[in-house]
A and B are shown apart, each in its own frame.
Chain A
Amino acid sequence: MNPDWIDIGLVRDVPFRGSRIVSTGNGDIAIFKAFDGKVFALWDKCPHKGGPLSQGIVNGHSVTCPLHNWVVALDTGDVKGPDKGCARKVELMIDDGRIYMAAATLKRDAA
């Protein structure tokens, strides 16, 4: 496998309408799987007050933050509705049922 991508596990290990986290020295990354099996990743920090997005309810292609119910789009990290902000997106590649994360991700932090 290309050194630009790091294997982080199997797609089937992430629950539907749910999420798992990948922990890094610089903060957690939330890996989401929507009802239709699509997989997304965001740094696990809500743009509002840093709530763990991985713990929210996944509805369609968005997640509702468990702390104050801001709704974040999984594909872009943008906050939807009247609130403004953006959670940082993490690039993924799916191949053969496995999830790969861009290696560059680990060089940055969640900031």
Chain B
Amino acid sequence: MASKLVIIGNGMAPGRMLEHLFELAPNSHDVTIFNAEPRVNYNRLMLSPVLSGEKTYEDIITHGDDWYAQNSVTLHKGKKIAKIDRAAKTVTAEDGTEAAYDKLVIATGSSPFIIPIPGKDLPGVVTYRDLDDVEKMLAAAKHGGSAVVIGGGLLGLEAAAGLHARGMDVTILHLMPTLMERQLDPAAAHLLQQAIEKRGMKVMLKANTHAIVGDGKVEGVRLDDGTLLPASLVVMVVGIRPASALAKDAGIEVNRGILANDQLITSDPDVFALGECVEHRTGIYGLVAPLYEMARTIAEVLAGQVAAYTGSVMSTKLKVTGIDLYSGGDFAEAQDREEIVLRDASRGVYKRLVIKDNKIIGIVMYGDTSDGPWFFDKLKKGEDISEQREMLIFGQAYAGGTPLDPTAAVAALPPDAEICGCNGICKSKITDAIAAKKLTSIDEVRAHTKASASCGSCTGLVEKLLVISLGDGYKPNAILPMCPCTDLGHGEVRRLIVAEGFKNIQELMQQLEWKTSCGCAKCRPALNYYMVSNWPGEYVDDNQSRFINERVHANIQKDGTFSVVPRMWGGMTSAKELRAIADVADKFAIPAVKVTGGQRIDLLGVKKEDLPAVWSDLNAAGMVSGAAYAKGLRTVKTCVGTDWCRFGTQDSTGLGIKLEKFMWGSWTPAKLKMAVSGCPRNCAEATCKDIGVICVDSGYDIHFAGAAGLDIKGTQVLTHVDTEEEALEMIVALTQLYREQGYYLERIYKWAARVGIDSVRQNIVDDATKRKAYFDKFAFSQKFAQIDPWRLRASGHEAHEFMPMRAFPKRIAAE
């Protein structure tokens, strides 16, 4: 007699299980299915094409009514099981329908997670799980208007694209800093975001939903920061949870999902769990591929075979027409992993393989995903790729052949192959020019042919053409790449940021074909500085690309405490300031107070959580951050000058204070220290500073390019000016030139040696118009830079940096 098999849930997993079972052991079971949805089994994955109008419900049916009839399966449509009685071995639906089982399969899938915020129950708030949800969305879309999709994961984006295709105005809110963070690395997520925005949808990242508002129906969504987004439809797609309550009520062991072993058997030997409701070896799956593997295992076990499911790795493709995206495996960065990245800026392609122990463990692809399954197959098989490594990223088409060395590959290109896409320059044009004009360097090729003079991403190819044409005669002018993430040097990158108008680090990395997905600790702070200095007011500083001192605006000490150095303009202080410092030292039990070498006072050993309060007290006495931690303006030392000194020729203290007040807050490639001395006796040590002024009877000698740290360098004289105003303009213009040309971490003396003092003079001294222009640019950027970072934080900005999440007193801890 056939054994009685009852299935709760008629989703994709049990459908597949039955197909296998009927093939392996026909007529072995007498099957009854209960389905809460009032319909047959359909392909849930294809709901998005139904939503967008590319398919109809009929197109996506997996098993029609006749399939159930043919296989003698009893399907109870629209009957939700309310209770499992394991002792009696029966299940009961909400309407009282009962069925007895020998073996039971729980395949209840998962339930969409609903954020517990006010307004979540308003009509017009929908989730995205089944056909009923699609119908609700389609009804709302008929009237047009605005929709807000909460959740920028796979489903959220599909819902958004569908609603957009139906003519709605769509905004996607996502809590995380990048879209689809589970499937994509930040680089691919950025390309995806650009594509979505290009189609006319809006994306808001790091957006915390505060409430859904409306009177009797949805009218809008309010964010934590107070922003109100009007909407007549809100789709909440923030994740799913295994639907395990039914099993739990029946006393079956449940953790996050229904616990099942390698045969998918639960704590009750007669009960299987299948699909998204399962927790297997701590894993919970939300994609069909692993569920299909589970389905096969159960079918085999039911058919009396030996079978085991051991877990899966997953891959995903986004089903939004026109956007090509593929990801699989584990692609987080980590020290023990390497990555191979291919970026083709002109075709909008990004491919990344994550390699560990010579095996592919993660794949992310954007723009061209044709090789995705090929890579994924290698990943699943754990294939050793060391042999194919060189050519691997180019995909299947290049596999197997003898790997060409890159120079030979370029040599083999036909004469009319395009080398420089930006300027449309082919190979023969470059090789001809090299021969005819006897060119020997990249710069000369650029000058004569324009090749690689625009985006620069073909520089490597051009260089290889020089090698091929000149052989040993080619001496590459030692361009030191910024870091291993790129072949481009700092200078090239700085030039391209301006030429191409890059205002975003991810965009720059894609267009300049960075070799890593997200840069490294060397290039990230540098790029962040370049953007900050080139696009004041437009670029948003990336705090996480800064080292701790600049991130928290204090210097970390060896015991994890911090030091606090307030500005003392030009080294001048007052009883009021000193009193405030003394009070702060007492109030916060600060262990050390020291006079620094920069004419100000350092409070050392401040606890991190005290920083905002310390700053607040110092602010109250009129003091701001001395930026003793910054690649930016540090100190302006002065001497007492004409105010007091019998030798003083000018008001050196006054000029120092003016300079410091005008220039504080500015970011520079490396630290910037200045000094003004009232006469050539030079008590302020101005001739070993980045910029120094020596006052003389006839006016001001402006010095620069000194240092007294790792290297000791006396300054050089830039020029002489007659008045204080001219001195200020000259110094500010010089600083701006350095801000624009300096490489990250390059002090002024190194920059000056690189560009040559004549070039600095030409720009700043000889040409009054240029000088004025540099001055104006600096002044403009100060509008955004002169905001005291201490005041911001004392008033609550980034409060999380300074407060523990939770503090346990010692007493409890000792229990």
Check B547 for interface membership: any CB of A closer than 8 A: yes
Contact B805 A20 (CB under 8 A): yes
CB distance from B152 to the nearest CB of A (A): 12
CB distance from B718 to the nearest CB of A (A): 37
Q: Which of A21, A50, A62 contacts B805 (CB 8 A)?
A: A21
Q: Which single member of A25, A73, A109 contacts B809 (CB below 8 Å)? A: A25
Bound-state Cα–Cα, A51 to B558, Å: 7
**A37–B180 Cα gap in the complex (Å)?**
11
Establish whether residues B332 and A61, one from each chain, have CB atoms under 8 Å apart when the complex forms.
yes
Q: Are A66 and B556 in contact (CB under 8 A)?
A: yes
List, in ascending order, chain B residues with CB within 8 A of A8's CB.
805-806
Q: How far apart are the CA atoms of A85 and B392 in the complex, in Å?
A: 35
Across-interface contacts of A80 in B (CB, < 8 A): 335-336
Whether the Cβ atoms of A58 and B804 lie closer than 8 Å is no
**Main SS of the interface on chain B?**
loop
Q: Name the contact of B181 in the complex, choosing from A36, A59, A62, A81 (C-beta under 8 A).
A: A36
Output the least CB separation between B336 and chain A (Å). Answer: 7
| Cβ contacts under 8 Å, A106 to chain B | 808, 812-813, 815
Q: Are A23 and B177 in contact (CB under 8 A)?
A: no
Complex Cα distance, B208 from A16, in Å, reads: 14
Hey, which chain B residues are within 8 Å of A21, CB to CB? 804-805
Chain A nearest Cβ from B804, distance in angstroms: 5
The contact string, 1 if C-beta is below 8 Å from chain B, for chain A 19-44, is 01111111010010011111000001
Interface residues of A in 59-84 (CB under 8 A from B): 59-62, 64, 66-67, 71, 73, 80-81
CB-CB under 8 A from B559, the residues of chain A are 50
Residue of A nearest to B559 (CB): A50
- The minimal Cβ–Cβ distance linking B18 to chain A, given in whole angstroms, is 34
Instruction: Name which residue of chain A comes closest to B182, CB basis.
Output: A36
Q: Pick the contact of A16 from B176, B334, B547, B807 — CB < 8 Å? A: B176
CA distance A56 to B551 in the complex (A): 10
Of the four ranges (under 10, 10 to 19, 20 to 34, 35 or more), the interface on chain A belongs to 35 or more
Chain A residues lying within 8 Å of B94, measured Cβ to Cβ, are none
Contact between A18 and B544, CB atoms less than 8 A apart: yes
Contact check, B813 vs A24: say whether CB atoms are below 8 A apart: yes
> Are B334 and A20 neighbours in the complex by a CB distance under 8 Å?
no
Q: Which of B521, B560, B810, B814 has the most CB of A within 10 A?
A: B560
A50 to B809, CA, bound (A): 22
Interface pair A16/B335, CB less than 8 Å apart: no
Chain B residues with Cβ below 8 Å from A71 are: 335
The answer, yes or no, to whether A17 is at the interface (CB within 8 Å) is yes
Contacts of A17 in B (CB 8 A): 544
Distance of A17 from chain B, by nearest CB (Å): 4
Smallest distance from the beta carbon of A95 to chain B beta carbons, Å?
A: 8
| CB atoms of A61 and B805 under 8 A apart | no
Known: A22-B805, A52-B560. A66 touches B548 (CB 8 A): yes
The answer on a CB contact under 8 Å between A60 and B805 is: no
Q: Which residues of A contact B335 (CB under 8 A)?
A: 60, 62, 71, 73, 80-81
Closest residue of chain B to A16, judged by CB? B177
Q: Is the CB of B556 within 8 A of A55?
A: yes
Those of B759-815 within 8 Å (CB) of chain A: 800-801, 803-815
Residues of B within 8 A of A55 (CB): 548, 552, 556, 560, 608
Min C-beta distance of A4 to chain B, whole Å: 13
B283 to chain A minimum Cβ distance, whole angstroms, is 15
Measured between beta carbons, the chain B residues less than 8 angstroms from A18 are 544, 801
* B548/A57 in contact, CB under 8 A: yes
Q: Is the CB of B521 within 8 A of A20?
A: no
* A62 partner, pick from B334, B558, B804, B814, beta carbons under 8 A: B334
Q: Are A67 and B556 in contact (CB under 8 A)?
A: yes
**Are B556 and A59 in contact, with the CB atoms below 8 A?**
no
Question: Which residue of chain B has the shortest Cβ distance to A99 in the bound complex?
Answer: B805
Per the bound structure, the CA–CA distance linking A32 and B240 in Å amounts to 24
Shortest B245–chain A CB gap in Å is 15
Q: Does B571 contact A (CB under 8 A)?
A: no
Chain A proximity mask over B525-556: 1 for CB below 8 Å, otherwise 0: 00000000000000000001001100010001
CA distance A95 to B255 in the complex (A): 11
Query: B233: shortest Cβ distance to chain A, in Å?
Result: 24
Among A15, A26, A95, A99, the residue within 8 A (CB) of B813 is A26
Cβ–Cβ contact A61 & B182, under 8 A:
no
Contact B558 A67 (CB under 8 A): yes
Whole-angstrom distance between the Cβ of A78 and the nearest chain B Cβ: 10
Is A14 interfacial (CB-CB < 8 Å)? Answer: yes
Does chain A have a CB within 8 A of B757? no
The answer to the question of B333 belonging to the interface, with a C-beta cut-off of 8 Å to chain A, is: yes
Q: How far is the CA of A18 from the CA of B805 in the complex (A)?
A: 13
Smallest CB gap from A52: residue in B: B560
Whole-angstrom CA separation of A18 from B181 in the bound complex = 16
Please give, as numbers and ranges, the residues of chain A lying within 8 Å of B680 by CB-CB distance. Answer: none
A60 to chain B: which residues have CB within 8 Å? 332-335
In the bound assembly, the distance between CA atoms of A88 and B556 in angstroms comes to 22
- Bound state CA distance, A28 and B544, in angstroms? 22
Q: Quick check: A35 and B177 within 8 Å, CB to CB? A: yes
B186 touches A (CB below 8 Å): yes
Question: Which chain B residues lie closer than 8 Å to A15 at the CB level?
Answer: 544, 800-801
Asked if residues A23 and B808 are in contact (CB atoms below 8 Å), the reply is yes
Instruction: Tell me if B175 counts as interface (CB < 8 A to partner A).
Output: yes
Distance in Å: Cβ of A33 to nearest Cβ of chain B = 10
Q: Bits for B181-215, please: 1 = Cβ < 8 Å to A, else 0.
A: 11000100000000000000000000010000000
Contact of B521 among A13, A57, A67 (CB under 8 A): A57
State in angstroms the CA–CA spacing of A34 and B332 once bound together: 9
Q: How far is the CB of A27 from chain B (nearest CB, A)?
A: 9
Contacting pair A61 B813 (CB below 8 A): no
Which chain B residue shows the least CB distance to A68? B558
Interface hits, B375-403 → A, CB 8 Å? none
Check B804 against A13 for contact (C-beta < 8 Å).
Answer: no
Taking a contact as CB atoms closer than 8 A, the residue among B177, B556, B805 that contacts A9 in the complex is B805
- When the two chains form their complex, are residues A25 and B813 in contact, meaning their CB atoms are under 8 A apart? yes
Residues of A within 8 A of B805 (CB): 8-9, 13-14, 20-22, 31, 99
Cα separation A16 to B177 with both chains bound (whole Å): 8
A91 to B161, CA, bound (A): 40
Please state if A64 and B544 are interface contacts (CB–CB under 8 Å): no
A-B contact pairs, 14 of them (CB 8 A): A12-B208, A15-B801, A16-B177, A21-B804, A21-B805, A22-B805, A24-B807, A25-B811, A25-B814, A55-B556, A59-B521, A60-B334, A73-B335, A80-B336
With contacts A23-B806, A66-B556, A80-B335 known, what are 20 further pairs, Cβ within 8 A?
A8-B805, A12-B175, A15-B801, A16-B176, A16-B177, A16-B544, A17-B544, A18-B801, A20-B805, A22-B805, A25-B812, A35-B178, A35-B186, A50-B560, A57-B521, A57-B547, A59-B521, A61-B332, A107-B813, A109-B813
